[in-house]
Structures are given as structure tokens and as C-alpha cells.
């Protein structure tokens, strides 16, 4: 299954950027402009 492949490392989710939570508006802007080539991660 998909989750098994992610857990085993056979499948990867590319990360485009890691941003602090206060930059959430910037993350939303990037997604709206389709300027993201992977996942956006917000940190606490």
C-alpha cells in the first residue's frame, strides 16, 4: 500500500521548503501561484 511504501522509503515526498508557522501566508501564496515543486512544511 501507499503508506507502507512511504514508511519503507521506497516512495518519497519531495520537500520544496521548510518555513516557520508565522510564514503560513507566504506558503499559501506560493501554493496559489503554483510556485511549489514539492511539499511545504510548516514548523512550530
- Return the domain boundaries, the chain: 14-44
Round to whole Å and give the CA distance between 14 and 2: 15
SS3 of residue 36 by DSSP: coil
Residue pLDDT, tens place only, 4-13: 988 898 988 8
Residue 32 has pLDDT above 90, yes or no: yes
CA–CA gap between residue 20 and residue 40 (Å, rounded): 10
What average pLDDT score do residues 16-43 get?
Answer: 97
- Give residue-wise pLDDT tens across range 19-31: 999 999 999 999 9
Entry pTM = 0.69
C-alpha cell at 6: 512511504
> For residue 17, how many other CB atoms are within 10 A of its CB?
16
Amino acid at each position: 500500500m501507499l503508506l507502507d511504501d512511504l514508511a519503507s522509503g521506497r516512495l518519497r515526498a519531495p520537500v520544496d521548503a521548510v518555513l516557520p508557522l508565522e510564514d503560513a501566508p507566504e506558503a499559501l501564496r506560493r501554493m496559489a501561484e503554483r510556485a511549489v515543486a514539492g511539499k511545504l512544511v510548516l514548523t512550530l
